[in-house]
Amino acid sequence: MKMSRDHIILSINGRQHEIRGEHAFMNLSEYLRYQAGLAGTKIVCAEGDCGACSVLVAKTSDPIRDQPVKFKSINSCIQPVFNLDGCIVVTVEALASAKELSAVQQSMVDQQGAQCGYCTPGICISLSYLKEQTGGTAEEIIPSKAKNFLTGNLCRCTGYEPIIKAACGLVDVKESSLSKRFLTASQVSTLKGATQTDVYFGFNRPGLEPIEVWIPSSKESLFGMLGKGRLISGATDLGVQRNKGRLGESRFISLQKIAELKQAVVTNGLLRIGAGLTWDQVQDFLQDDFSDFADSINLFASPQIKHIGTLAGNIINASPIADGVPFLLVNEAELLLLGSGGKERRVPISDFYQGYKKIGMASDEILWAVLLPKNKLKQRVYKVSQRKDLDIATINLAIAYELKEGVFSHLKLAFGGVAETSLRMTSIESLALGRKPDALFVADCAKAIDLALRPLSDVRGSSKYRMLLAKNLIQKWVVEIDLESQQNVNEANV
């Protein structure tokens, strides 16, 4: 066992902070506002859904594909400080240099992008991320693309129009990047050094049991700890549960510093998605082989959530409306679980979900990687939600299929949002084989849906609506197939 440290090391706006005890268990937003005197970062919802708390974070231990250390935006309101050991943080207060506003800030002033100002710090962070991320050319910053950088930020005052203009005002501005200012080689190497040590500490709470965290820096130290605390990846689920008082645990194991979890490789037609891959990285990785699903990730949460939340967390959280699960079900992915001591186990994802939020994983196991076999099937992914962007699905659907001479030779189909778990529709799968995708097929699917599904009514939609959607999505898909084949015929005729 290596020497362990008893505090968190973090750089905020160029200043190094050593954070101990109670303060390390605060959310970053609270630490910034109430301990570091940086009240520019706002807290509105404390659940990752508004973006007022956005900050830029560069993880110095992010070795995926040897990318350089980069800033990404995250929601500080659901991010415990302890989950950011060795990170470099930039808040709204540091965007301006000593003398002048940053280009983003100036553009926001020029375009009247701030009214009440409460969303503004978060907006400035998202626009700064846009600026860091793109070359700032006129093709890169057009309204439709700029909007994609702002889906994680709500503004109730402006109607967004002046903010989109402010984004477009960033075309071709020359300015030293935040990376140049804050990710200097010496800064990065100091903090990277910090990520090489294990961290363990806790603090006593009056009237409650003590709270503790382990932050292993290697696979070996992690294996020694499995089962002793709640695993925590991006905290986009756990952070919300913690804030809303729905998390009983008082011992946590942060997975942020385990380099092996970041593996993303393809071997013998098998994609191996390390459990540490964040959604933006997953999107990137799947672009070549599963482009439909990769594209559907555009409608997953927000940039801030995708920058830190993981596919693994999505799987383990086991929400019946998780966007990742139906896709994995229809492509017959397997989960690679590791037990304490490193014992491996492969479980088909179709056997993994046993009931509402009940999964086939032991308390001392960890999801290590998702194994996804490549295939040549056609893919479809549908998500219907109350609001198109940054919303949890009312219902989602993934389909993998193949047509040979106009009839189904293969079909796998899974819904989310219609039962206690994401659900493979085996009844539809079996009735489809050898049949044409036609009106009769749609009608039979509707019958199968009537028999199999009993969705709940809740805030995202009534049971009746979900039933109707389930049937209509099938119909929509069939109409799409029809249209595609017509197009193919037309092309062939040309």
Partner 1 sequence: MKHGHSSAHDSAVSHVTGQSQYVDDRQMLKNELLVGYVTAKVACGKIQNIDFSKALKVPGVVCVLTASDLAHNNWGTIVQDQPLLAQSQVEYFDEPVAIVAAESEQALSLAKKMILVEIQALPAVLTIQEAVNKKMFLSVAEPFIKGDFNQAMAVAPHKLKGELSLGGQEHFYMENQAAVVYSSENGHFEVHSSTQHPTETQHVVAKALGIEFHKVTCIVKRLGGGFGGKESQAAPMAAMAALVAQKTGRAARMVLTKDEDMKITGKRHPFWHRYEIGFDENGKIQAARFELYADGGAYTDLSPSILERAMFHVDGAYYLPNVEIYAACCKTNTYSNTAFRGFGGPQGTFLIESLLEDIAVFLKKDSFDIRTLNSYQGDRNLTPYGQKIEQNPLPEIFSKLRKSSDYDSRRQEILKFNSKDKFKLRGLSMTATKFGIAFTARFLNQGNALVNLHVDGTAQVSTGAVEMGQGVNTKICQLVAEVFGIDSKKISVMTTSTEKNANTSPTAASSGADINGAAAVKAAQAIRQRLARLAEMYFAGQTFDALNEYQLSQSAENLSHFIFKEGQVHCTRTNQKIIFSDLLKKAHLNRISLSEYAHFKTEGLGFDKKTITGTPFKYFTFGAAVTEVEIDRFTGESKVLRTDILMDLGRSLNPAIDRGQTTGAFVQGLGWVLLEKLYHNTSGELLSHSPTTYKIPNVQDTPRIFNVDFIEAYKAEGVGIGAKAVGEPPFLLGISCWTAVKNALAGLESSRRPDFSSPATGEVILFEIERLKSESSL
Ligand X SMILES: Cc1cc2nc3c(=O)[nH]c(=O)nc-3n(C[C@H](O)[C@H](O)[C@H](O)COP(=O)(O)OP(=O)(O)OC[C@H]3O[C@@H](n4cnc5c(N)ncnc54)[C@H](O)[C@@H]3O)c2cc1C
Q: How far is the CB of 411 from ligand X (least distance, A)?
A: 23
Q: CA–CA separation, 409 vs 233, rounded Å?
A: 39
Rounded to 5°, angle at Cα 469 from 45 and 431: 135
Number of residues that bind partner 1 (CB under 8 A): 84
CB 383 within 8 A of CB 299: yes
Stretch that binds ligand FES, among 116-124, 138-146, 204-212, 432-440 (CB under 6 A): 116-124
Minimum CB–partner distance for residue 55 and ligand FES (Å): 10
**Exposed, middle or buried by CB within 10 Å (0-12, 13-18, 19+), for 183?**
buried
Segment lying near ligand FES (by CB under 6 A), choices 98-106, 153-161, 253-261, 435-443: 153-161
Say which amino acid occupies 326. Answer: P
Among residues 69, 74, 77, 141, the one that binds ligand FES under rule CB under 6 A: 77
Among 119, 297, 316, 470, the residue binding ligand X under the rule CB under 6 A is: 316
Q: Which of 43/171 has CB closer to ligand FES?
A: 43
Which listed range, 118-126, 186-194, 228-236, 366-374, lies at the site for partner 1 (CB under 8 A)?
118-126
The most distant pair of C-alpha atoms in the chain lies apart, rounded to whole Å, by 78
The pattern of x and - marking residues 145 through 184 that bind partner 1 according to CB under 8 A reads --x--xx-xxxxxxxxxxxx--------------------
In terms of DSSP H, where are the helices of 149-302? 161-168, 178-182, 185-194, 219-225, 238-243, 279-286, 291-296
User: Rounded distance, CA 257 to CA 9, Å?
Assistant: 13
Among 46, 57, 312, 448, binds ligand FES (CB under 6 A): 46
Q: Which residues between 318 and 377 bind ligand X (CB under 6 A)?
A: 322-324, 366-367
Site for ligand FES contains 39 (CB under 6 A): no
Task: Specify the residue for token string 């540091």.
Answer: 94
Give the residue among 152, 8, 13 at the shortest CA–CA distance from 71: 13
Q: Are strands 230-232 and 251-254 parallel, antiparallel or unpaired?
A: parallel
Does 226 participate in binding partner 1 (rule CB under 8 A)? no
Alpha carbons 29 and 46: distance in angstroms, whole number: 9
CB of 122 to ligand FES, least distance (A): 8
Q: Minimum distance from CB of 170 to ligand X (Å)?
A: 25
Alpha carbon distance 65, 285 (integer Å): 10
**244 contacts ligand FES (rule: CB under 6 A):** no
Residues interacting with ligand FES, by CB under 6 A? 43-46, 48-53, 75, 77, 114-120, 155-158
Residues interacting with ligand X, by CB under 6 A? 47-49, 230-238, 240, 255, 275, 300-301, 305, 309-310, 312-314, 316-317, 322-324, 366-367, 392
